Chains A and B, each alone.
Chain A
Amino acid sequence: MKAAALLPPLFAFLLSPLLLGVINRTKAAFAGRNGQPLLQSYYDLWKLLHKGAVYSRTTSCVFRAGPLVGLAAVMVATMLVPLGDLPALVAFPGDLVLFAYLLGLMRFFTVIAALDTGSSFEGMGASREVLFSALAEPALLIALAAVARRAGSYSLTDIGARLSTESWLQIAPVLALVGVALVVVMLAENARIPVDDPNTHLELTMIHEVMVLDHSGPDFAYILYGAALKLWLLGALVLSVLVPSSGGNLWLNLAMALGGMFGLALGVGIVESVMARLRLLVVPQLLVGAGALATVAMILVLR
């Protein structure tokens, strides 16, 4: 194993909260505000880690396990995702399925921890989260299957490495369709606009935020950090498909990958500034639409 393989998880662990900072600064710039400091997410995490946690008497050990298992699952998933051309720490055929289901495990524990509180609002949020992720998962897996088939490998690292500039010339429609589908999945999975508004605190309309209302202190820090890592991972996945590999130069690759990640965060910030959140009834249509695009890409690859 080369030392370069340690870089993608290292960057993910260190820089993922910065993505949230970039998104927030972009939104602030659009609204004409100064906005919070770029490092605000780090300050928040630091503050929360030094607080004590409050647990309701009605909750059980499931509630306490939720944030820990969630963070552990997403940290394991971090080992599987390449960053640009840098290979992932662990790569084996079929790791894209493991990646999808590690995110599924994280979601499952967030959901049962939310249900464990017995709060009706959290139940509503859990139900929505499960519905939307059930619709987003086919889109993610079919999109990955399409590029996997094209690259001839079922490993995320190989997919990222084998899609080169030539493949953009040959199968531009497929890559564009997969890219759009993955971006929609990324926005939905990370509870960003147009699926969910991370800033809203009206329980009736929230999806992800409402499920973690009862967590406090270090538990909440784990949840925030896990969410930032998840954003980083799905962003890296989008990048590895959209940005073709550029050749052997380590520093050039690194610059391209990090530039791509923060460019993506800028894009998310712009989307959040110019779009309104979709009505809850329309969200399934968006996600099934993403699934349809991924299926079209799959059919084009298979023919």
Chain B
Amino acid sequence: MNVDLILVLVVLTNLKLLASSRLGASIRVVAAQGVVLGLLPMLAHAHALGLRVVVLALGSIALKGGVFPWLLFRALREADVSREVEPYVGYLTSLMAGVLALAASFWIGARLPIPTLIASPLIVPIALFSILVGLLLIISRKRAVSQVLGFLVLENGVYTFGVGVMEETSFLVEAGVLLDVFVAVFVMGITIFHINREFDHIDTDRLSTLKD
């Protein structure tokens, strides 16, 4: 039950991200999603609560709920933007696309053969849904910050899937993924800052007119 509640919260935060134009609010929503997902391994593996699970959960909560929002808010402040402007796909359309993506993920999730036991039947569809929403955010938004958020949502989807099959994957792989994401967000934060300093804006679509 608790696992299901967390997964429904993940769905709702994803839909909120698709419909929201405010970057600050979006960063907070992604942070909240990260914290809620951090609790997932402890609940999903309550019967075998080892040191490994607790360390992984605490690590991901600290990173996704503390370090990432801090880095992104810093980037936001330095770039001096607060809103997404004119995304390629409008908010209403993205919201409806999100609902379609959810339906599609449930359809695929029901047909995907999963070799191992999974904590909740919702985990696979919602992991797929997070991945699709992340991709949608990356391709449909213009601000670099939104794209970083899309990347984080995508990673949250992968993480959700990883929690479901935790008995099969090693601690090292999970920790490695977390570290990769940390480095990626760190680098992207710096890149946003530099793009902004060179070009006075962080609209990625205008970067394509770059000349040497």
Please tell me if B19 contacts chain A, counting CB pairs below 8 Å: yes
Report yes or no: B19 in contact with A173, Cβ–Cβ below 8 A. Answer: no
Query: Which stretch from B91-99, B111-119, B131-139, B184-192 is at the chain A interface?
Result: B91-99
A289 CA / B121 CA spacing, docked (Å):
25
A293 CA / B92 CA spacing, docked (Å):
13
Please tell me if B11 contacts chain A, counting CB pairs below 8 Å: yes
Annotate B4-19 by CB proximity to A: 1 below 8 A, 0 otherwise.
1100100110010001
Query: Which stretch from B23-31, B102-110, B142-150 is at the chain A interface?
Result: B102-110
Residues of B within 8 A of A303 (CB): 106, 110, 121-122, 125
Please tell me if A288 contacts chain B, counting CB pairs below 8 Å: yes
> Which chain B residues numbered 161 to 212 have a C-beta less than 8 Å away from chain A?
none
A285 CA / B93 CA spacing, docked (Å):
10
Given the contacts A173-B5, A303-B121, A288 and B92 also touching, CB distance less than 8 Å? yes
Q: Shortest Cβ distance from B174 into chain A, in angstroms?
A: 27
- Across the interface, B11 reaches (CB within 8 A) one of A169, A284, A296, namely A296
A149 CA / B169 CA spacing, docked (Å):
38
Report yes or no: A173 in contact with B102, Cβ–Cβ below 8 A. Answer: no
Given the contacts A292-B95, A292-B96, A173 and B4 also touching, CB distance less than 8 Å? yes
Please tell me if A255 contacts chain B, counting CB pairs below 8 Å: no
Report yes or no: B96 in contact with A288, Cβ–Cβ below 8 A. Answer: yes
Q: Shortest Cβ distance from B120 into chain A, in angstroms?
A: 11
Q: How many residues of B contact A (CB 8 A)?
A: 21
> Which chain A residues numbered 88 to 117 have a C-beta less than 8 Å away from chain B?
none
Report yes or no: A296 in contact with B15, Cβ–Cβ below 8 A. Answer: yes
A288 CA / B93 CA spacing, docked (Å):
10
Among residues of B, the one whose C-beta sits closest to the C-beta of A172 is B5
Given the contacts A284-B92, A300-B8, A303-B110, A292 and B103 also touching, CB distance less than 8 Å? no
A32 CA / B12 CA spacing, docked (Å):
36
Residues of B within 8 A of A299 (CB): 102-103, 106
- Across the interface, B92 reaches (CB within 8 A) one of A172, A285, A295, namely A285
- Across the interface, B91 reaches (CB within 8 A) one of A169, A285, A291, A295, namely A285
Report yes or no: B5 in contact with A295, Cβ–Cβ below 8 A. Answer: no
Q: Shortest Cβ distance from A50 into chain B, in angstroms?
A: 47
Residues of B within 8 A of A177 (CB): 8
Given the contacts A299-B103, A303-B110, A303-B121, A285 and B5 also touching, CB distance less than 8 Å? no
A291 CA / B110 CA spacing, docked (Å):
24
A292 CA / B16 CA spacing, docked (Å):
10
Q: Shortest Cβ distance from B102 into chain A, in angstroms?
A: 6
Residues of A within 8 A of B121 (CB): 303
A303 CA / B11 CA spacing, docked (Å):
15
A198 CA / B121 CA spacing, docked (Å):
45
Residues of A within 8 A of B106 (CB): 299, 302-303
A173 CA / B121 CA spacing, docked (Å):
15
Q: Shortest Cβ distance from B202 into chain A, in angstroms?
A: 25
Report yes or no: A289 in contact with B102, Cβ–Cβ below 8 A. Answer: no
Q: Taking each of A284, A293, A299, which has the highest tally of chain B beta carbons within 10 Å of its own beta carbon?
A: A299
Residues of B within 8 A of A302 (CB): 106
Q: Shortest Cβ distance from B117 into chain A, in angstroms?
A: 18
Annotate A18-32 by CB proximity to B: 1 below 8 A, 0 otherwise.
000000000000000
Given the contacts A296-B102, A299-B102, A303-B110, A289 and B5 also touching, CB distance less than 8 Å? no
A177 CA / B102 CA spacing, docked (Å):
15
A177 CA / B8 CA spacing, docked (Å):
10
Residues of B within 8 A of A291 (CB): 99
Among residues of A, the one whose C-beta sits closest to the C-beta of B98 is A292
Among residues of A, the one whose C-beta sits closest to the C-beta of B96 is A288
Residues of B within 8 A of A293 (CB): 12, 15
Closest 6 CB pairs of A and B: A173-B8, A295-B99, A292-B99, A288-B92, A292-B95, A299-B106
Chain B residues in the interface with A (C-beta under 8 A): 1, 4-5, 8, 11-12, 15, 19, 91-92, 95-96, 98-99, 102-103, 106, 110, 121-122, 125
A-B contact pairs, 18 of them (CB 8 A): A172-B1, A173-B4, A177-B8, A285-B92, A285-B95, A289-B95, A292-B15, A292-B95, A292-B96, A293-B12, A295-B102, A295-B103, A296-B12, A296-B15, A296-B102, A300-B8, A302-B106, A303-B121
Given contacts A172-B5, A285-B19, 14 further A-B contacts (CB under 8 A): A172-B1, A177-B8, A284-B92, A285-B95, A289-B15, A289-B95, A292-B95, A292-B98, A293-B15, A295-B102, A296-B99, A302-B106, A303-B122, A303-B125
